[in-house]
């Protein structure tokens, strides 16, 4: 079921060449960060909502029903939902492949760092500020 849930939350996007979350190693993340209970609590709740509201298991819902079920879970059990979703984002957006695809810049260990272009006219921008003159309060005793 977890693969179906991962794909419902973060499916792939062929246009942007982004992989679905299910293609990445969630199991490894889960063990490394000890979130088994968070996952189980969430899946139990999602299963209950799917059965109560749609009379089906989550994996048998169509795409729009899956999103509806997830949103219902957010409404009914916000803590359980938030804890799980935060971990899905942490898992997905710390993956090396994903980071290279979203133009995050140089990746750790950052051998070259990131370049931010300096323009010669950066400080020309300060001319209006400079022309206004001092704005701090002068004191008589200094």
Partner 1 sequence: MNDVADIIIIGSGASGAAAAWSLSRDKSLRIVCFEQGSLSNSSDYPTKSEDWELSRSDKSSFDPNIRKNLADYPIDDSNSPISIANFNGFGGSTILYSAHFPRFHPSDFRVKTLDNIADDWPLNYSELNPFFDENEKKMGVAGLVGDTAYPEYNSLLPPVPLGDMGKKLAKAFNEMNWHWWPSYAAINTDKRNNRANCINLGPCNVGCSQGAKGSVDVTYWPLARLNGVEVYTESRVYEITLDKKGLANGVLYFDKNGDQCEFKAKIVIVACSGIGTPRLLLNSKSEAFPEGLLNDNGLVGKNLMLHPLAYVEGVFDEDLKSSIGPHGCCILSQEFYETRGENDFSRGYTMQILRGTPPIETATTGYFMRQLSIGKDHHQDFKKIFNHTAGIAIISEDLPELHNRVELDYENKDLFGLPGVKIHYELSNNTKNILSHGIKMSKEIFSSAGARVTSSFAPVKNSGWHLMGTARMGSNPKTSVVNKFGQAHQVKNIFIVDSSVFVTSGAVNPVATAQAITLFACDYIRKNISNISNPL
Rule CB under 8 A: choose which of 26, 42, 58, 92 binds partner 1: 92
When binding is defined by CB under 8 A, the residue of 25, 31, 33, 59 that contacts partner 1 is: 33
Q: Residues 43, 49, 51, 55: is their CA dihedral positive or negative?
A: negative
Q: What is the rounded CA–CA span in Å between residue 10 and residue 67?
A: 11
By CB under 8 A, the residues from 100 to 129 that bind partner 1 are 102-110, 112-119, 122-123, 125-126, 128-129
Asked whether the beta carbons of 67 and 5 are under 8 A apart, the reply is no
Stretch that binds partner 1, among 7-15, 35-43, 44-52, 54-62 (CB under 8 A): 7-15
Q: CA dist 21 to 18, 25, 97, 141, Å?
A: 9, 8, 11, 65
Asked if 37 interacts with partner 1 (CB under 8 A), we say: no
CA dist 60 → 3, 30, 73, 103 (Å): 13, 24, 17, 35
Q: Which residues make up the interface to partner 1 (CB under 8 A)?
A: 8-11, 13, 16, 18, 33, 63, 66-67, 70, 82, 85-86, 89-90, 92-96, 98-99, 102-110, 112-119, 122-123, 125-126, 128-130, 132-139, 141-142
């Amino acid at each position: 079921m977890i693969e179906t849930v991962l794909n419902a939350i973060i499916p792939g996007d062929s246009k942007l060449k982004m992989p679905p979350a299910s293609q990445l190693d969630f199991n490894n993340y889960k063990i490394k960060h000890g979130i088994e209970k968070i996952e189980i609590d969430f899946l139990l709740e999602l299963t209950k909502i799917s059965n109560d509201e749609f009379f089906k298991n989550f994996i048998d819902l169509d795409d729009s029903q899956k999103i509806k079920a997830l949103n219902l879970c957010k409404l009914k059990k916000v803590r359980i939902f938030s804890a799980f979703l935060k971990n899905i984002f942490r898992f997905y957006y710390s993956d090396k492949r994903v980071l290279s695809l979203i133009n995050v810049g140089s990746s750790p260990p950052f051998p070259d760092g990131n370049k931010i272009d300096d323009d010669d006219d950066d400080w020309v921008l300060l001319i209006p500020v400079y022309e206004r003159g001092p704005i701090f309060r002068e004191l008589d005793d200094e």
